[in-house]
Amino acid sequence: MSIKSLDPRITREQLPDESDNNPIKELHQWQTYEVFHQSKKGDRHIHVGSLHAPNAEMAILLAKEQYARRYKCVNLWVVKTSDVFITDYDDEDMFEANQEKMYREAGGYKVMDRINKFKTEHKKN
């Protein structure tokens, strides 16, 4: 079998297809870390992306140039992606908002009638 490429020049070369001879080995890629960036002391840390690293120390090192090179940063967090507990996209429907929430809003209470009445009267004076 020779390589069939979208590039006709490569196909014409009739190069042997050895793609199956080099299966990706385990640990071919490092694990990923999630990076959080703080732009001012006291501010919350904001998730800015992820990167590959062999351990947390290296992750911090690489995150500095990756995510804190251009904008002001005073502090970085890195967290192993596999340590982040996540919801399932199958459960996405639990976030769906119920449109009829009058019962949860202050405006839905009877007392509002009295408040509004008081306001109107007060305005006249």
Partner 1 sequence: MKQLTEIQTKALKDLICRIADDELILGHRNSEWTALVPILEEDIAFSSMAQDKIGHSLALYQLLNKLGEPDPDAIAFTRKEKDFKCCHLVEYPIGDYDFSLMRHFLFDKSEAIRFDLLSRSSFEDLANIAKKFRGELKYHTMHADTWLVQLGNATEESKARMQSALNQCFPLALGIFEPGEYDEVLSSENIFPGEKVLQGMWLDSIKIILDSANLSIPDIDTSDRSYGGRKGYHTEYLKPLLDEMTEVYSIDPNAEW
Which residues of the shown chain bind partner 1 in the complex (CB under 8 A)?
A: 51-55, 57-58, 61-62, 64-66, 69
The distance of closest approach from Cβ of residue 43 to partner 1 in the complex, given in angstroms and rounded to an integer, is: 20
The number of angstroms, rounded, from the C-alpha of 58 to the middle of its chain's C-alpha atoms is: 21
Reading across the β-sheet that carries 75-80, which strands appear in turn?
Answer: 46-52, 32-38, 75-80
The distance of closest approach from Cβ of residue 63 to partner 1 in the complex, given in angstroms and rounded to an integer, is: 8
Closer residue to partner 1, CB minimum distance, 3 or 32: 32
The distance of closest approach from Cβ of residue 112 to partner 1 in the complex, given in angstroms and rounded to an integer, is: 57
The number of angstroms, rounded, from the C-alpha of 10 to the middle of its chain's C-alpha atoms is: 39
User: Would you say 87 and 65 are in contact if contact means Cβ atoms under 8 Å apart?
Assistant: no
Closer residue to partner 1, CB minimum distance, 28 or 122: 28
